[in-house]
Amino acid sequence: MPLRQLLDTQSGRVIIGVADFDADIAGDRRRMGTLRQVDETDFQEVLDNSTVPVLVDFFAEWCPPCKKLGPTLEALAEDLGDRLTIVKVNVDKSNLAGQFGVMNIPTMIIFRGGQEVKRLVGNQAKSALEKVLEPYLA
């Protein structure tokens, strides 16, 4: 099984080296869920057409912290669905991460009125995300 490495581009150090697998850290399978995945073709449209803030999750399928964050974002989408739009960007299939200077994953960027208002890096507990999101919710 090949190893994938996430590099800190500022220091050049390996942040994480993980096996390329479908199971999360605990070994159970998890779907990416029902959150919409976007790329260059529809990203701007999502921002332009949203009347509520948009949380964009930059992730990779091989990233254990990203997989762990997935169910948290699904729960937030269910709880805050009318006040927040959540979409996902697969960094292995899109150039949007480079356009937004995303260096580590998972990275979440909150947009309001089409403009970036907050950036979070790393896995976050649902309660912590709710606290950070509250000032931006419609």
Active site residues: 63, 66
Q: Find tokens 């999502």 and name the residue.
A: 46
HSE-up (13 A, CA, CB side) for residue 54: 24
SS3 state at 85: strand
Cα angle 92, 95, 96; round to 5? 110
